[in-house]
Copies of this chain bind each other. A is one copy, B any other.
């Protein structure tokens, strides 16, 4: 006998459990939830997923997800096109945008170099970044990758590719998080925060 007593449910559970972090049990719970609720909820969900995947575009400048050929950020006349912030994925763009502290544009690598996961330089958008810089479209490249081995490898690879161009290459500041206590900070972070100390500004 078919454990799910319905091929339709079995199929939905099987597709749902392909999603990362969703096992068979959770998938079944989600499927049964959708069966209990209005038809419209399942239909909207299914349609939203299909339409997103069908119609999504990636900005031809920065590779950000977009509903048009050029994303809202690259298309915005008020943004500073001379500063390019290099990030791993779209979530990093959202995080930086949420700070309201950055007015430049982005370059989304779509991953970081990771031999362990079989991701090489050609699997991410490094060439496209080099082309943007070579075309004279930038004065500063701000590296904003995570400080893991993979992030450092990618940083170094990109640095080598860009170091002969006439641009400034910077990296986001590493230091003690605002609100964190010094005694709990790791030595490397604390060390860097002393080396890269900044002029005192009263916040009062």
Q: Name A residues whose Cβ lies closer than 8 Å to a Cβ of B.
A: 1-9, 11-12, 14-16, 18-21, 26, 28-36, 39, 41-56, 64-67, 71-73, 76, 89-91, 93-94, 97-98, 110
Contact = CB atoms under 8 A, between A and B. Distances in A.
Given A18-B41, A49-B46, A52-B11, A67 B6 contact: yes
Contact of A97 (B3, B9, B76): B3
A180 to B, nearest CB: 22
23 contacts: A1-B72, A3-B97, A4-B94, A5-B65, A5-B90, A5-B93, A5-B94, A6-B52, A6-B56, A6-B71, A7-B67, A8-B48, A8-B56, A8-B67, A12-B52, A14-B48, A15-B45, A16-B45, A34-B53, A39-B53, A43-B54, A45-B46, A46-B49
A8 B51 contact: yes
Give the interface centre of A2, A26, A42, A93 by most chain B CB atoms within 10 Å. Answer: A42
A119 to B, nearest CB: 12
Give the interface centre of A7, A47, A49 by most chain B CB atoms within 10 Å. Answer: A49
Given A6-B67, A8-B52, A90 B42 contact: no
B20 A91 contact: no
A33 B67 CA distance: 17
Given A4-B94, A43-B50, 7 more contacts: A2-B72, A6-B71, A21-B29, A31-B52, A34-B53, A46-B46, A47-B50
